[in-house]
Chains A and B, each alone.
Chain A
Amino acid sequence: MFQVIGGRSVQAARVLAPRSAVLVEAVRGRKSRTDPVAKSKVGRIKVPPPVDPEEMVVLKERYGEYQMIMRALRLEARQEAQEHRVLMDLNHLENQRMLKLRIVRVQKEKEEADRKKFEVILQREQEQQEIVKEKEKEILQLQEDAKNFITLENLDQRIEEALDNPKNYNFAIDKQGKVVKQTMLQ
């Protein structure tokens, strides 16, 4: 018969006519439409709660203002949230773009570094080979020279040769750059 009400209409009802602790409203319960009226309720006329006009006016004005303000705030919040979402989306897109560019750039740099390392290795190897070639040439040169070294057999012959051919390393040079090798051996 009486149902507890809750929700938005609670506040208005509480202002307009609250007397009990729990707010109730009349609702069709045990009896249906076709049942006869109860004996105690035969001449009952339901009267809505009385309304004070001045109070109503003031309340209506205040409520109107309050709701207008709330609506405005909610609208602003919604707009801010929307803007925020838009900016976040833009940021996300920007990040994706930068990510792609970055990946490409990093890949290129890695390839460049790899190539340089490879080149350095090649260079080193080439240098090593050059060095080996130089050393081999030197060895061959020395082997050739070794044929002219002095041994016990040709020692006497070489001594005779040396005593017969005195060598003179002295020379004279003048300011014009003329070289004179003929000197007097005392």
Chain B
Amino acid sequence: MPRYELAVILKAMQRPGTSAALRRTVETLMERGAVVRDLENLGERLLPYKINKHNQNHLRGSYFLIDFYSAPNILTSLLDHLHRDVDVVRPTVLKKDDQVSSSNCCGS
């Protein structure tokens, strides 16, 4: 199965709200038959520009990274669902390339 990455920006909320939103998202994924591999938090940050979504103006958002394995045909319905979710400011699904040898990597 191909490997995807969901980079999602959630509304800046208190901890229970964010936790619930994440739980909702992961459950949506699993409903559609995806296998969730890992969940990363990139922190609550200032957005690069003002984003207007669901009749709300957002300045800050919490960035999360979910990588999962799934069939490609569920992605459109998944994105559809995420666009409709009020707590989600911006969902983005990317394909994950095969791991490059990280020997000379300056990153993490």
Surface stretch bound by A, among B22-30, B75-83, B87-95: B22-30
Query: Is the Cβ of A150 less than 8 Å from the Cβ of B41?
Result: no
Residue of A155, A168, A171, A179 touching B23 (CB-CB under 8 A): A155
Q: When the two chains form their complex, are residues B36 and A150 in contact, meaning their CB atoms are under 8 A apart?
A: yes
Cβ of B45 to closest chain A Cβ, rounded Å: 5
Ordered by A's residue number, 9 sampled pairs between the chains whose C-beta atoms are within 8 Å are: A149-B37, A155-B26, A162-B64, A163-B15, A165-B41, A166-B42, A166-B44, A167-B43, A186-B46
Given A169-B108, A185-B45, check contact A163 B19 (CB 8 Å).
yes
Residues of B within 8 A of A145 (CB): 37
Q: Which residues of B contact A171 (CB under 8 A)?
A: 106-107
- Would you call A152 and B39 a contact (CB within 8 A)? no
Asked if B6 CB lies within 8 Å of chain A CBs, one says: no
CB < 8 Å: which of A152, A167, A173, A186 contacts B106? A173
Residue ID in chain A nearest B106 by CB atoms: A179
